[in-house]
Structure 1
Amino acid sequence: MTREENYFRAVEFRYPAWIPVSVSLMPATWKKYREDLEEIVVRHPKIFGRYKKGSRNFDEFTGLYREGTHTDEWGCLWKNIRGGLDAIVVHHPLSSWDAFESYTPPQPGEGLPHGFMFQRLYYLRGFENLMMDFVDEPPQLHKLIDMVLSYNLAVVRKWVARRPKMVHFGDDLGMQDRLPMSPGHFRKYLKPCYARIFGMCRDAGIHVYFHSDGHILEVIDDLIECGVTVINPQIRANTLDGLVKVCKGKVCVNLDLDRQLFPFCTPKDIEEHVREAVVKLGSRQGGLMLVAECEPDVPLENIEAICQTLERYMLYYS
């Protein structure tokens, strides 16, 4: 069985041969550990595939991982203060509604960046402004939402025409321990947008993968209703028991393991963490995948332990 075949067996609850696992290494992590990290990657082809030593420039960063400032096609100014980690938006072109009438959105491109709907709204307005808009409901708000939605639909329409098996989306909806908005506001302003975007994919028989950082437990059922077939939530922000309650058997979970634990724990802690997730959220039928993101503050010993542990527990139900 190929990796792709096994992956979709897990997504569709069709008894995969193993739990799909992955380890994400930030560019800054590569820069810090360099050849030592390469040694780990080479030792674990089941996770990283075939890797050729010397094929990576540890000091070269692209896109928003590059230190400095960058203005995107929407007019949002991004700033990165440490190359290899991500940038943030520091200037919002629609922070004042006075600029809205003369604002022209970009022409739909070929892809959607991380933060395509909710985050794009606050990239344009500013976070506090958008939260106030959800409460005050100024007339421009619905026009802004429609503008961003129309852009997204145009891009996704191009994707659907190519008939992929899955389309990936990312939009961080949560904070560390709660939603930044009420579930009611989510359902009023954002859920209809996701339903149209994801529905276009599902109507064509295409799986929808959705990533969100932060606490999203209260709206996971809504996201499933919108068409999400694989959800990528953070375990710490949502708790394992919370995710078991709202997700198990309903939607495939690509579980983002606890990246806030990895810098400070022992290899034994990692083993216990992964085992608990597999036992509670997994099943022989499938519906579980595991991903571990390693920032530059994770010791090499723990990156190695993560890889070894994932390789063991990917076969737990085999």
Structure 2
Amino acid sequence: MKTMTGLERMLTTLKHQEPDRVPHGELHNPAVWQAIAPEGGTYEDFIELLDIDCVVGYDKLTGWNWELQDPEKGIVRDIWGGLQRLTSNQPSPMSPALAGPQDLEAYTPPDPDRPERYLWLQAWVKRWKGERACIAHATDVFDIARESLIGDVPYFTAMIQDPDYIQQVQEIILDYNLRYLKNCIEVGADALFITGDFATTTAPMVSPAMTRQFLLPPLKAAVELGHAHGLPVLKHSDGNIMPIIDDMLATGIDGLHPIDPMAGLDLEEIKKKYGDQVTLCGNVSCAYTLCEAPQDEVVREVKDCIRKAGKGGGYVCMSSNSIHSGVKPENYVAMVKAIHEFGVYPLDLD
């Protein structure tokens, strides 16, 4: 088989066909990639050094467009107007932008057409178009509504007491997301990636019926946008999504990430049951293996994941969430090298 580009590997895999080798890509924390990149090197240098097949980015790539509010406490305001506290470079919601429906009339959402939102993608397309899969990311409407605009408890309460309020807020967010993603497509994105959790480690956050009513229509709209332009769409959700997985797949998503092992999801079983419907992405443990295990254990887990899900294509070997700040750089390098070595088709891992 001829050597493929990263883009060809990704697209072949998403068509449930076997590429030359299992593809790989991640969301990378700066603490990790900067420790791996050549001295003084850029993120792009790091991607090329490890020959990563797909790159996932978004307009928040450098700084999340946060407006600093309290430097000493690490409090920032996100682009939706919500207050967040930064912990290890990750946001933790503090106070939502809206106190209730009475604030909607005066609320001004962010502008998806600001040119600076697309500088990262323009640079990637110029550098890698046709070589690596340049994937545009958007946070799920459900996540933004809960964490930035309404707040967790008020959101869940309003699902029952004031569903019109939920729908109004989500329409504002969805309009932004669809305009943002359409702009990314016009710049040259090769695929779309929608992140945001629908479940905890034990169960979905809301009932299947409310999942279908509130969570899935915005996802389906993003899928329809991608498909209308010939682009595949991937969805991330941690947690035990098994009670809602059929509903999620019914939206038409092309890829599902990360098949959360901490929630008891079994990559091999899900491959057997759903592998002909959706490409699976995951699930080398970033809770233990990539953080604490010796490198030979990293290699064993990579091989095990490929053995469980790689046959026939339809599998992207990734972490069980992301390459966060707690991941050992040397373990991540071992993971990528193992994918390149043991993910070559035809697979021979039995």
**Whole-Å Cα distance in 2 between the matches of residues 89 and 310 of structure 1?**
36
Q: Residue 88 in 1 paired to residue 92 in 2?
A: yes
**Whole-Å Cα distance in 1 between the matches of residues 332 and 5 of structure 2?**
26
| Corresponding residue of 1:182 | 207
| Corresponding residue of 2:78 | 72
**Whole-Å Cα distance in 2 between the matches of residues 104 and 65 of structure 1?**
16
Gaps of 5+ in 2: 54-60, 118-135
How far residue 173 of structure 1 moved from its aligned partner, in angstroms, is: 2.0
Q: Which amino acid aligns with 1:313?
A: F
- Contact kept? 2:50, 2:336, Cα under 8 Å: no
Gaps of 5+ in 1: 50-60
Q: Residue 259 in 1 paired to residue 283 in 2?
A: no
| Corresponding residue of 2:337 | 308
Q: Provide Cα deviations, 1:228-268, integer angstroms capped at 9, x if missing partner.
A: 11222243133324532553121112214210122232334
**Whole-Å Cα distance in 2 between the matches of residues 228 and 180 of structure 1?**
20
Q: Provide Cα deviations, 1:47-98, integer angstroms capped at 9, x if missing partner.
A: 448xxxxxxxxxxx9314987333233211222133xx32222220113333
| Corresponding residue of 1:102 | 106
| Corresponding residue of 2:142 | 118
How far residue 169 of structure 1 moved from its aligned partner, in angstroms, is: 2.2
How far residue 18 of structure 1 moved from its aligned partner, in angstroms, is: 0.7
Task: Decide which moves more: 154-163 or 9-18.
Answer: 154-163
**Whole-Å Cα distance in 2 between the matches of residues 299 and 158 of structure 1?**
35
| SS of the residue 1:290 aligns to | strand
Q: Residue 276 in 1 paired to residue 280 in 2?
A: no
| SS of the residue 1:90 aligns to | strand
Q: How does 1:106-185 map to 2 (within 5 A)?
A: 106-109=110-113, 114-122=138-146, 123-161=148-186, 164-185=189-210
Q: How does 1:173-252 map to 2 (within 5 A)?
A: 173-236=198-261, 237=263, 238-252=265-279
- Contact kept? 1:160, 1:200, Cα under 8 Å: no
| Corresponding residue of 1:57 | none
Q: Provide Cα deviations, 1:20-41, integer angstroms capped at 9, x if missing partner.
A: 12465422335678879x9xx9
**Whole-Å Cα distance in 2 between the matches of residues 142 and 115 of structure 1?**
17
How far residue 45 of structure 1 moved from its aligned partner, in angstroms, is: 4.0
Equivalent of 2:326, from 288, 297, 301? Answer: 297
| Corresponding residue of 2:132 | none
Specify whether residues 160 and 297 from structure 1 end up closer, same or farther in structure 2 by C-alpha distance, changes over 3 A only: closer
- Contact kept? 1:64, 1:87, Cα under 8 Å: no
**Whole-Å Cα distance in 2 between the matches of residues 307 and 108 of structure 1?**
34
| Corresponding residue of 1:62 | 62
**Whole-Å Cα distance in 2 between the matches of residues 164 and 296 of structure 1?**
27
- Contact kept? 1:234, 1:257, Cα under 8 Å: no
- Contact kept? 1:19, 1:314, Cα under 8 Å: yes
**Whole-Å Cα distance in 2 between the matches of residues 7 and 157 of structure 1?**
21
**Whole-Å Cα distance in 2 between the matches of residues 148 and 20 of structure 1?**
32
**Whole-Å Cα distance in 2 between the matches of residues 8 and 185 of structure 1?**
33
How far residue 225 of structure 1 moved from its aligned partner, in angstroms, is: 2.1
- Contact kept? 2:65, 2:79, Cα under 8 Å: no
How far residue 220 of structure 1 moved from its aligned partner, in angstroms, is: 3.0
| SS of the residue 1:180 aligns to | coil
How far residue 119 of structure 1 moved from its aligned partner, in angstroms, is: 0.6
Q: Provide Cα deviations, 1:269-288, integer angstroms capped at 9, x if missing partner.
A: 323322222122121x3100
**Total equivalences in the alignment:** 302
How far residue 207 of structure 1 moved from its aligned partner, in angstroms, is: 1.3
Specify whether residues 113 and 90 from structure 1 end up closer, same or farther in structure 2 by C-alpha distance, changes over 3 A only: farther
How far residue 316 of structure 1 moved from its aligned partner, in angstroms, is: 5.3
Q: Residue 11 in 1 paired to residue 39 in 2?
A: no
Superposed CA RMSD? 3.3
| Corresponding residue of 1:58 | none
Specify whether residues 21 and 106 from structure 1 end up closer, same or farther in structure 2 by C-alpha distance, changes over 3 A only: closer
Q: Which amino acid aligns with 2:84?
A: W
